[in-house]
Copies of this chain bind each other. A is one copy, B any other.
C-alpha cells in the first residue's frame, strides 16, 4: 500500500515539527492599511479592486506563514463572494501555496448527493476529464458535510482514494448553535455528533483508504470546544485525522485542543485563522503584536504564526 493523503500530511507535519494549519479567510475591511489604503486598492465597493487587495494580502500571508507551518486551509466562501473572479483567485492561491510546499486544504463544506456530489468532488479535488485543465492545481483535501450520509461523501472519497487526496467530514462544530442538532441525545444515549463520528470512522476504514501511518484519507472536522466530547470522538475514531478549528478567535483552551491528539502526539491538525492573519488588528488580536511591530503588519502576522506554532507544539508534546 502506497502513501495516502494522511501520510503526506503526517510527513509535512514531521518536517515542520508541528501539527498546525493557518486558515485563510480574507475580509476586505480587515486588510492591513498598507494594502487597503493603497490608492489602487482602496475601493471596497468595486469588486475587482477589492479582490485585487484580497489577493495581494493572501499571497503575502501565505508566503509569510509558509516557512513555519505544514499546511494552510483556504476558505472558498471568502473568494466566492467575488463570483467567478474570486473562484479564479481561490485556485491561484491554492496553486501558490502548493508551490511553496504546503499541504492545501480547501474549506468548501460542500454537501449534496449522487450526481451533484460527484460534480462538487471534481471541482473541489480533481477533475481528470478536462485535457485543457491538466495543469490546474486543486487542494490536497477538502471539507464536506455529512448530514446526508455516505452517499454525499462517497464521490469525494472515490476521488481522494484515486488521486491521493483527502476529505474531512464535518462532525462537530463550535458555533453557539452547534448543539441544537449535534448534541441531541439519541435513544441509545449517544449524541448525534457521536453517531456521525462513528459513521465517519466506518467510512474511513474502507478498502484501501488507510495509509502507512495508520490514518485514512477520510478525516473529520472536530471543533475542540468540550474536552469530554473530544476525548470520546478521539477514542471512537482511531483512523481519522481531526482538522480542528477553534484556536485563537474561537477560544478553545490548550486543554481542549490536547484532547484531539492520541497519546503518540499524532491525530490532529490544529487550525488558527483570524488570530494569525489579522494579528495586526487590535479588534481581533489585541495590542500584543502591534506594540511589538507598529505598522509592520507582516511582522505581526509572522510573530503570531510563530507563537501559534510554539503553543501548539507544546500542547502536542505534552500529550505524548
A contacts, CB < 8 Å to B: 25, 27, 44-48, 50, 75, 77-78, 80-88, 91, 107, 109-117, 119-120, 122-123, 127, 129-133, 136, 145-152, 170, 173, 175-182, 184-187, 189, 192, 195-196, 199
Whether A180 and B81, one on each chain, are in contact in the complex, defined by CB atoms closer than 8 angstroms, is no
Question: Would you mind naming 27 contact pairs between A and B with Cβ atoms under 8 Å apart?
Answer: A25-B115, A45-B130, A46-B132, A50-B130, A78-B116, A78-B119, A81-B122, A81-B123, A83-B88, A83-B91, A83-B133, A84-B84, A84-B87, A86-B123, A87-B87, A109-B145, A111-B170, A114-B175, A148-B173, A148-B177, A149-B175, A149-B178, A149-B179, A180-B199, A181-B195, A186-B186, A186-B187
This protein's copies in its complex: 2
B27 touches A123 (CB 8 A): no
Q: Apart from A83-B133, A181-B199, list 9 A-B contacts with CB within 8 A.
A: A81-B122, A86-B123, A107-B112, A111-B170, A145-B145, A147-B181, A148-B178, A148-B181, A150-B180
- Give the residues in chain B near A173, CB-CB below 8 Å: 113, 148
Given known A46-B131, A84-B84, A87-B83, contact A25–B116 (CB-CB < 8 A): yes
Chain B residue nearest to A148 in the complex (CB): B173
Are B180 and A130 interface neighbours, CB within 8 A? no
What is the bound-complex CA distance between A84 and B78, given in angstroms? Answer: 15
Is the Cβ of B175 less than 8 Å from the Cβ of A152?
yes
For residue A132, give the distance in angstroms from its CB to the closest CB of chain B. 5
Chain B residues with CB under 8 Å of A150's CB are 177, 180
Residues of B within 8 A of A85 (CB): 84
Chain A to chain B: the 3 pairs with minimum beta-carbon distance, closest first: A149-B177, A149-B180, A77-B119
A132–B85 alpha-carbon span in the complex (Å): 13
Q: Which residue of B lies closest to A133 (CB)?
A: B47
Contact indicator B145/A147 (Cβ below 8 Å) = yes
Determine the residue in chain B with the shortest Cβ distance to A170.
B147
Once the chains bind, are A115 and B180 in contact (CB under 8 Å)?
no
Residue of B nearest to A112 (CB): B109
A210–B112 alpha-carbon span in the complex (Å): 28
| Bound-complex Cα distance A27 to B119 (A) | 9
Bound Cα distance A48, B132 (Å)? 9
| Among B91, B112, B151, B176, contact of A176 (Cβ-Cβ < 8 Å) | B151
Alpha-carbon distance A143/B111, docked complex (angstroms): 11
In the assembled complex, how far is the CB of residue A190 from the closest CB belonging to chain B, in whole angstroms? 9
Q: Complex formed: what's the CA distance from A180 to B149 in Å? A: 6
Q: Out of B44, B88, B175, B195, name the residue touching A148 (CB < 8 Å).
A: B175
Residues of B within 8 A of A109 (CB): 110-112, 116, 145
> Are A83 and B132 in contact, with the CB atoms below 8 A?
no
Smallest CB gap from A114: residue in B: B175
The residues of B that contact A151 with a CB separation of less than 8 Å are 175-178
Chain B residues, CB < 8 A from A120: 77, 80-81
